[in-house]
Amino acid sequence: MRGEPFLLANAHEHIGENLGVSDWVFIDQVQVNVFGEVTRWRTPGHCDPDYAKKGPYGGTIIHGFHMMSLLSHFYRDVGLWPEDGQNPLNYGLDKVRVLKPVVIGDGVRLRSHISLLDVQDKGKGEYLMKTCHEIEVYDMPDRALYAEYLTYWFPRKEME
């Protein structure tokens, strides 16, 4: 897809295409603990390695919402920031599935495979885009998370 600039005006031409793969993001136990604190979900299965070691996964697991919270980062990392767009809003998620638990251990690396599912023209140069994110975990077969992410875009205003 990278032969031409990615624009709101031409996004519809790329529906069904793979748009890219993000760089790897490293997540460790400290980050999982912080996420647990700010979301008020600091449960032993996520935040207590000694407790979780005896559990079904052999260690703590990353919060599913933690993985989902990285979607905006992955989106921008791949370069899906339309040159003619600005001020995007998180419009929500359609379908989300946490497909497997991800054990933290000494840390994990995640990345997203992103494709474009839909583009809706909302008038006045505004667009609603739906992207598919399949989160991969380094050295783990199959995907760990599937999400359909909605982003509402506004047209770029020329500087006055």
pLDDT digits (tens, 9 = 90+) for 87-116: 999 999 999 999 999 999 999 999 999 999
Cα(149)–Cα(147) distance, integer angstroms: 6
pLDDT digits (tens, 9 = 90+) for 11-68: 999 999 999 999 999 999 999 999 999 999 999 999 999 999 999 999 999 999 999 9
How many other C-beta atoms lie within 10 A of the C-beta of residue 33? 17
Residue among 63, 61, 75 at smallest CA distance from 132: 75
Domains and CATH numbers, the chain: 11-25+63-155 (3.10.129.10)
Does pTM surpass 0.95? no
Q: Cα–Cα distances in Å, from 27 out to 49, 63, 93, 104, 143?
A: 15, 11, 23, 8, 16
- CB-neighbour burial class of residue 61 (10 A; exposed 0-12, middle 13-18, buried 19+): buried
pLDDT digits (tens, 9 = 90+) for 29-39: 999 999 999 99
How many other C-beta atoms lie within 10 A of the C-beta of residue 70? 19
CB 117 within 8 A of CB 149: no
